[in-house]
Structure 1
Amino acid sequence: MEDKPPEYVSPPETWKSKTALRAASLVFLVVIAGIGGSLSTMPRLDIAWLILIMVVPGLAVTFIWDIAEVLCILKRGGNRGIHPGAVVAIDLILWLGWLTVGFMLGVLGLMSHAGSYILDYSGSSYTQYGTRYNYNPSKATPEDAALEREVLGKGRALVAFVGLTVIVHFVLFVIACRETHTRNSMPRTIYVMQPVSVIPAGYQQLEFVLPKQMQNQVFMQMPPGQPPIQPAAAVPRH
């Protein structure tokens, strides 16, 4: 006996919504990659390497996961996609991970005081040991002020699209939780193996057909040592 869970069939409105959200996530990832790449190529931005470390792993994992889920939704029967239990786990990790990335980018100050990370920024003062201790954008040269505005704009856009990615994967996480609950609530299908009669080798199953006269006769089996009782002959009617 095997207790097998039933195959879950995703309703059209559900799998279409999931596909649209995955497509939106892919678009956001492309934008994040573009903005992050642009910031990393700025020679005077001394935290470019840190941005790459925070963004690139999440980009790679999320991109592969979104593509895999879209392909499964479109190819599998019933548009079921990947098992909802796996989707719950992976999307939970993704939206928490991107939330952490967005928080770290905000803590770094890319949306507020980006000039602190610009090398040789004219709006900063240094001590005799070369340590930056004063940040004053009003003293920055026009060139440095323009560079700071560019970094601020890209930093805010980066954090905004990271936030959108968090929202998308949180919604996908909620949908997967609902699908998991629905799948587990469905009645189980129980499969029972029917016994198969086996005839030993060397034996053949024969079919006997009695003559018509013997089909109406009844034989009684007597105990051992006693002769069998013969049926009474039919008495002809007058």
Structure 2
Amino acid sequence: MADQVAPPPYEEPIELSQRRSEGRKVQVIYCPPRKLSLVKLGFRTSAVVNSLVLLGLSIGITAFGDRNLGPIIWYGVMCGIGLIWSISDLCCYFSRKGRRSAHPGAAVTLDLLLWMPLLAISCVQVYIPGNGGYYDESDGYGSKSLSIWMATAAFGFIQFGLHFILFVIACYETNRRRAYEREPVTFVEMGPNGSILYPPANFKVVQVYQNDKLYNLQLADCQTYETRV
């Protein structure tokens, strides 16, 4: 069974578990470049903050006298699930070596299950007041409550957009990961100075094996790769 070597933080070396790995098969695993990781971090953090705002607005609708508990139930469930998932993803990012978030396959599934209901709920949230569903001036549902109702719908659409963008990024990463998992590479002995790690076909090595430490492999397409030795 091949040993697994976790990727280091950016520009930091990995200590190999075995000093001599030449001749053994190495599998190259796609890891997102730093810029893409920071973009995901920004969207995921925004999703956490927006979930809290959305949940507060949903509670505010009831606080202003509206008897409809729909927004609290709809958005409460989605915000709860979204908060658990987003916080878990952020914990993965800050706890794993190499600043990696959760597996992209998990992100595809969970963000898909979040953005689809959020889109439907937000559309219903806009539809109800405009068609007289629960809106009745004589029943105490005044302009302030209506403003909060529409603000809730607006933040619902924002939350939908955040999870949809994260879903698209996860789909891209999943596709890239599957492509690079099929590309084997090999340590080749180069004499007393150590070994060189050959990348997949059509790529060019920029950093190589130095002083018994395997540096994050930077290839010609500016992607960063994890290696399993």
TM tier relative to shorter chain: 0.5 to 0.7
TM-score by length of 2: 0.64
Structure 2 CA distance, aligned partners of 1:98 and 1:33?
A: 13
Q: Per the alignment, in what secondary structure is the counterpart of residue 30 of structure 2?
A: coil
Matches within 5 A, 1:103-114: 103-109=123-129, 112=130
Higher fraction of helix: 1
Structure 1 residue 82 displacement after superposition:
1.0
Structure 1 residue 57 displacement after superposition:
0.6
Q: Per the alignment, in what secondary structure is the counterpart of residue 165 of structure 2?
A: helix
Question: Which residue of structure 2 aligns with residue 25 of structure 1?
Answer: 47
Matches within 5 A, 1:116-195: 116-118=134-136, 121-122=137-138, 147-186=141-180, 187-189=182-184
Q: Deviations over 1:156-211 (max 9, x none)?
A: 111111111111111101111111111111144489xxxxxxxxxxxxxxxxxxxx
Asked if the contact 1:92/1:169 (under 8 Å) is kept, the reply is yes
Structure 2 CA distance, aligned partners of 1:66 and 1:80?
A: 14
Rg (Cα) greater in structure = 1
Structure 1 CA distance, aligned partners of 2:133 and 2:145?
A: 8
Give the one of 81, 86, 97 matched to 1:66.
86
Asked if the contact 1:8/1:80 (under 8 Å) is kept, the reply is no
**Distance change in 2, residues 1:116/1:59 (3 Å):** closer
Q: Which amino acid aligns with 2:124?
A: M
Larger RCO (CA under 8 A, 6+ residues apart): 2
Structure 2 CA distance, aligned partners of 1:180 and 1:71?
A: 20
**Distance change in 2, residues 1:115/1:8 (3 Å):** closer
Q: Per the alignment, in what secondary structure is the counterpart of residue 77 of structure 1?
A: coil
Question: Which residue of structure 1 aligns with residue 32 of structure 2?
Answer: 10
Count residues in correspondence: 163
Give the one of 70, 75, 100 matched to 2:95.
75
Question: Which residue of structure 1 aligns with residue 205 of structure 2?
Answer: none
**Pairwise CA RMSD:** 2.5
List runs of 5+ in structure 2 lacking aligned partners.
Answer: 3-24, 187-229
Question: Which residue of structure 1 aligns with residue 109 of structure 2?
Answer: 89
**Distance change in 2, residues 1:5/1:54 (3 Å):** farther
% identity of equivalent residues: 27
TM-score by length of 1: 0.61
Question: Which residue of structure 1 aligns with residue 17 of structure 2?
Answer: none
List runs of 5+ in structure 1 lacking aligned partners.
Answer: 125-143, 192-238
